[in-house]
Amino acid sequence: MALENRLDLRLTQKLVLTPQLQQAIKLLQMPQLELSQMLNQELTENPFLEEEYEEHEVEPQSEAEMGVGEAEYDDTELPFQIQSLVNFGVDDYFDERSSDGRDLGYFSADADEQPSFELFYSKKEDLCDHLLWQLRLINAPDTIRIIAEQVIGNLDDDGYLRATREELLSFSGSDEQTINDAIALVQQFDPAGVAARNLQECLLLQIKAINLSGTLVEKMVLNNMDDLQKKKYPVIAKQYELSIDDIMAAVRIIEGLEPRPGRLFSSGEVSYVVPDVYIHKTDSGYQIVLNDDGMPRIRLSNTYRQLLTRKDTLTKEEREFLKEKLRLATELIKSLDQRNKTIYKVADSILRFQQEFFNLGNAQLKPLNLKDVASDISMHESTISRVTSNKFLACHHGIFSFRFFFSSALQSDNGEVSSTIVKEFIRKTISEENSQKPLSDQIIVDRLKAQNITIARRTVAKYREELRIPPQSQRKSYA
């Protein structure tokens, strides 16, 4: 087969996302807090964006004003701030700074005294700091202290040692005995159970710390971890030839131990849900309000738009730079407007589909999927998926994720019923059960059937696992 060069002309179709579309999609799936941070960052980087305050009157802008005009402006007609911006020099800058004493290290008498930075700065002690503080108080050889610092540095937030002995040997260059001594040293520190490699070792370290070595508690942790997890207390009692009461006394001690010793020093911050939409119930019906609390309201800066028209004061590079910033600012404002309109349409569609829920509560939630809302507001299903991601809705029943209102349909004698209602029924039924005689999945199936809802036992097991509810054997209490 001979090789040859050939020039072909082919017509193909492929999907290309423009930068404007990429930005619109990115804004659409941003939650409230991330959007606020992004807008504040844009206000800092783009000179054409400025924050709009309520006391300022915003004059309507025509399409011509949104673009870059070519008309010339007379210097006498320019606002004062533009003349100052153009004519502001280096000498003026230092004169302005020295007028209130900033460059001299003090401020004038009429300047407000700012609070000290130290009043706002604080660092919560984490697990690593707590352990290093204890290590400094220990009289140990330097070789062990160095390895102990590496052990502390390889602990996770729960206090477990995630680096293997081989990894410690490789990057420390020490011998195995020194590694073992360093690990044993850190395991003596507070909190008890720290630097363990697994849950069993963590519990054994805590048992040793409370002087219960050699007792039934230690034997059960050593030999019966699987039986303890599955709550097979009669099996354990038969193995040790003891009564259930003796086994339960040891179990209560084990349950009082801390499986995550580093939890008290966790630096994780609490995340608060900020609703994106409020639905208020009024005498005339429901009112949808988009939440803009804490959200900077941005607009185009007239100062820089007028500065852009001064050809005599700008170089070609400066002019191109300002044109690009104006284009980005305009596209951002349009994308934000489109985002708000889309979220409003989706919230309005959910309100119409789930009208009975807003009137009567969770028991009236109907089956709903993304395709139904997409068809209702004439948008693509992927767009609805992005809108409902990480968004929350607040009403008089509480705060709910947008995804809460979308659930699959289950058949009942009275028609279709939402899977969310079935999950709520399972959760409530199990919460009210007798802990000494927990309900099996089959009993829950029978109770659902009594409510004219027929589902399989495996479906109940699947929903129970989604609700993070353990099976019947692990819910049983012998107290």
Mean pLDDT of 307-326: 83
pLDDT for res 351: 93
pLDDT for res 279: 93
Task: Evaluate if residue 350 carries a pLDDT over 70.
Answer: yes
Q: Beta-carbon neighbour count of residue 219 at 10 Å?
A: 14
pLDDT for res 95: 57
Task: Evaluate if residue 44 carries a pLDDT over 70.
Answer: yes
pLDDT digits (tens, 9 = 90+) for 25-34: 888 888 888 8
pLDDT for res 479: 62
Beta-carbon contacts of 145 under 8 Å, excluding residues fewer than 6 positions away, are: 135, 138, 182
Mean pLDDT of 255-269: 83
Task: Evaluate if residue 80 carries a pLDDT over 60.
Answer: no
pLDDT for res 184: 93
- By percentage, how much of the chain surpasses pLDDT 90? 34
Amino acid at 440: S
**Which domains does the chain possess?**
127-265 (no CATH), 277-405 (no CATH), 409-475 (1.10.10.60)
CA distance 450 to 448: 5
Residue from 83, 63, 62, 64 nearest 73 by CA? 83
Mean pLDDT over the full length of the chain: 82
The answer to whether the predicted template modeling score (pTM) of the entire model surpasses 0.75 is no
pLDDT for res 99: 55
pLDDT for res 464: 92
Estimate to the nearest angstrom the gap between the alpha carbon of 192 and the chain centroid.
31
- By percentage, how much of the chain surpasses pLDDT 70? 82
pLDDT for res 18: 72
Most confident of 57-61, 86-90, 221-225: 221-225
pLDDT digits (tens, 9 = 90+) for 428-476: 999 998 888 889 999 999 998 888 888 889 999 999 998 999 888 888 8
Most confident of 3-7, 64-68, 83-87, 249-253: 249-253
265 vs 72, higher pLDDT: 265
Mean pLDDT lowest for which of 167-181, 258-272, 350-364? Answer: 258-272
Strand pairing of 392-395 and 298-300?
A: unpaired
pLDDT for res 77: 46
pLDDT digits (tens, 9 = 90+) for 130-159: 999 999 998 888 899 999 999 999 999 899
Mean pLDDT of 289-296: 86
256 vs 63, higher pLDDT: 256
80 vs 121, higher pLDDT: 121
pLDDT digits (tens, 9 = 90+) for 86-99: 555 555 545 555 55
pLDDT digits (tens, 9 = 90+) for 182-217: 999 999 999 999 999 999 999 999 999 999 999 999
Task: Evaluate if residue 117 carries a pLDDT over 60.
Answer: no
